[in-house]
Every structure is written in C-alpha cells, then in structure tokens.
Amino acid sequence: MSNTGPLPSPKEFTTQIFTKAELLSQPALNNATISLITTAFLSHKVHDPDAWDKTSRRFPPSTLPVNPGLADVLGDDGLCAVVCDAETGTVVATASVTHWPDFSGVNTASDAEDAPIGSEGLDWEVKCVASLDKPEYRGQGVAIRASAAVEEALRARIGGGAEALRLWIMCNEDRVGPYWRRRGYGEVLTIVPPVGTWGSRREFVIGVYAKGGQGDVDVKRLREWLEEYFKSGN
C-alpha cells in the first residue's frame, strides 16, 4: 500500500503580471517573491551539499526597503508572474521572462538586453521559476500556472508576431531537465560551465532548451556566446 497519504485539497489562487516598475511599487510582494526564489534555489542544493556553495544566493542580500534584485533582472522590458494563495495572500509561485539573443548578429549579453521588441525581440528567456515547497501547495500546478501566465502576457504584448515567439530556458540538466522536456521544451544543447557558476563547487551540466520560434538556431554561435557568458561570471 502507498504511504503517500491523501492529496491536498484544491486551493484558489490569484495570478498577477508585473513589470519592473510595478514590482518595485509593491515592496512586500516584491520582497516575498525574492524570498521564495532564494528558498527554492537553495533547496535544490541540499540534495548534493558537497557540490554546491550554500552561501551562494540567486539575489544578493539587500539592506534597502525594496530589494532590487528581481527588478534588475527584469530590466525595462521583462515581465514577472506572481501566484498567490487567494485566501492568505502568500506568494506560492513565480516565473519571469527577459530578452534572449536571437543570434542573428548578437554577440554580447548587453546587446541582448537592449534588443527592442519586434522582429529582433522574439526570443525570450523564462527564468526565476520557483514554487513554495509546502504540502498544501504540492500537486497544485502553481509553477506551471506562473510560467503559463507570464508566457500568455508576453504573447499578448507582442501581438501579431507572437506565433514566431521562441522561449528559452537554462537549467541544471540532471535536476530539472526532464521537467522542462515534459513542458514542451526541446534540448538545443548542453554545456559544462566553469566551476563556481550558480554556486557550484564542481562541474555540472546546464541544459539549454527552447520552445516555439521560426527558423533554425545557430547552435555554434549560441555555444560561443554561452561560453563567454559564463566565463564573465553569470
């Protein structure tokens, strides 16, 4: 017999989409979202504590009333979805999207961040996906809800060109690669970044995945860009 126990009762959730400015205008929600991301990223490290620096954080601690870490990641064009428990207001999941290079002449991260929305802005990275690891929220699909909401908001903003939208994600291949494959993403390449990347103490594999888009990806250019990207300490 199974010892897993009953599934949690279905809950009601609210989902909101924020720009950088909107997120910073709500200090409590902003800081709670950053706390959720920090906790989620640290929790992945407990499965292999010798392989990860547990003092490394996704966002550095801030003494400011409003932690700017997530807003800085979003930049002027990024979007962030925040899912809350409708009854308690607890932040239970989040996902963001930011510009990603299209490799038609983009060679640096700064070029990618400055890319305008339009024909050169149809490649976006899904990042900072996190959910609250508590029994009452497991199996409720809150991370999927956040990812779907931010994708829908991005498609609505792009409008007529949204059919050409390509979404990217970089992840720890061993830990969550299968999760993203189940969500319709296909592997483009894998890369072993320098030790120290994402707080690593030894080598690990990053999977680079994509979904949607039109035309082929220049994998050689992508790999070269990623190698420089990770060498620069990202």
Q: Using one digit for the tens of pLDDT, what is the confidence trace for 80-91?
A: 999 999 999 999
Q: Fold for domain 13-167?
A: Aminopeptidase (3.40.630)
At residue 145, does pLDDT exceed 70?
yes
Mean pLDDT of the chain: 88
181 three-state secondary structure: helix
Which residue, 221, 193, 219, is CA-closest to 206? 193
Domain ranges for the chain: 13-167
**DSSP output for 13-24:** EEEEEE-HHHHH
C-alpha–C-alpha distance, residues 22 and 163, integer Å: 27
- φ, ψ dihedrals at 159, nearest 5°: 80, -130
Which residue, 165, 176, 85, 164, is CA-closest to 127? 176
Residue linked to tokens 């059919």: 163
Q: Using one digit for the tens of pLDDT, what is the confidence trace for 18-55?
A: 999 999 999 999 999 999 999 999 888 887 888 999 88
pTM over 0.85: yes
- φ, ψ dihedrals at 14, nearest 5°: -115, 145
Higher pLDDT, 207 or 162: 207
C-alpha–C-alpha distance, residues 158 and 164, integer Å: 10
